[in-house]
Amino acid sequence: MRKTFILCTVSALLGGLVAIALYDPPDTEPQTQAQESGPWTPPQPGSGVAVRIDPNAPAPAGYEGLTPEERVGVAVYENTNRSVVNITTQSVQTDRMFMFERIAEGEGSGSVIDRQGHVLTNFHVVDRARQVQVTLFNQKTYEAKLVGIDPETDMAVLKIDAASEELFPVALGSSTGLRVGQRVFAIGNPFGLERTLTTGVISSLNRSLPRRGQHGTIKSIIQIDAAINPGSSGGPLLDSQGRVIGMNTAIASRTGESAGVGFAIPVNTILRVVPQLIEDGHVLRGDIGITRVYETEQGLRIAALASDGAAEAAGLKGPEIVRHRKRQGQYVYEYQTIDRAAADLIVAVDGKPIRSADSLLDVVENKKPGEEVVVTVIRDGKKSNVTVQLDADE
């Protein structure tokens, strides 16, 4: 039996009763507001970074009696917890049996990412929410506007109208060079318990996580063993310097509670996506114009091309329709068959071997419309390169 990946969503009903259940939202899409301001610049490292602990130096004031390892954990929390917010949502759910609507409350976590009031969280935390509120470390609560969403990476950016002196942005680090076994710290709001710190190590890197309610997977996921319980979704994953190296997004569990297998979106993905969400409200990705493929041991056989799409314009070939005529007595019948073997077999893109639809999307989705990719195909037993200029992914 496959493990069920349960994203960290908490519904609070009847004055605080917490129930962990599958979310069945109404058919309303969240509205996003693109910002009219200039390009977003991430906070510079230095603000909110935990102090460096020298194990051979005397304990600083307030840290007496703590081991060097304990000092690191305390410093990470004290320098970062004000950057973590509690997010509460309200949505309308329809009871399918009795056909009545009820208000459902949800909860999650987020990180302040600048002094303009932008807050980063998971898309699934605010998905279909009609009302979103953000509570800061000082217990002040603000109505939040949805600035941008990217379901493909489970990211959303909110904005609150809080004074800049109330906002303490996280320090964004890098997920390049992370190592299995590296110490990590997670801050979130599990079960409504505000700004809770859990610790652990990186268990694995470059994991894949199925997209919630969608086809495809989120790539390059960080696997950790720090407890990530419902309500902690959207909170930051930190290194021992208090720098954000990821955003906690999911757990692998059959019960809905942490079982020592959690997942985080790497900060390098965040740095690529968030500026587009703030500026445009969405992410614009390249589209190669191939709508369906068959996976084979040799590569991807094109099954269908988008009409007038990028691949068709570049000369890539899909299956051929073969028309036949057959005489039976005095009648002539016409029919057609599909020759799938006539379609191009994709074996590489930009020199990278391609064996699955996900590997093709990995290359294409990191490109912008107008950029080119070189597709290596086998056609009629011969290998050739075809240059495709990507369209916009609608």
Write b or e for each residue in 367-387: b if 16 or more Cβ atoms lie within 10 A of its Cβ, otherwise e.
Answer: beeeeebebbbeeeeeeeebe
User: In 3D, which of 169, 108, 131, 106 has the Cα closest to residue 31?
Assistant: 131
Q: Catalytic one among 114, 127, 150, 154?
A: 154
Residue 154 annotated as catalytic: yes
Token pair belonging to 163: 């004074």
Backbone conformation region of residue 191, classed left if phi is above 0, alpha if psi is from -120 to 50, else beta: left
Q: Catalytic one among 11, 91, 111, 124?
A: 124
Half-sphere exposure of 368 (CA within 13 A, CB side): 5
User: In 3D, which of 204, 217, 220 has the Cα closest to residue 261?
Assistant: 204
What are the backbone angles phi and psi of residue 12, rounded to the nearest 5°?
Answer: -110, 115
Q: Which residues pair with 131 in a beta bridge?
A: 90
How far apart CA 198 and CA 217 sit, in angstroms, is 26
* Nearest-5° Cα angle at 389, 41 to 286: 40
CB-based contacts of 340: which residues, under 8 Å, 6+ apart?
Answer: 294, 301, 303, 319
Q: Catalytic one among 233, 253, 258, 359?
A: 233
**Residues labelled catalytic:** 124, 154, 233
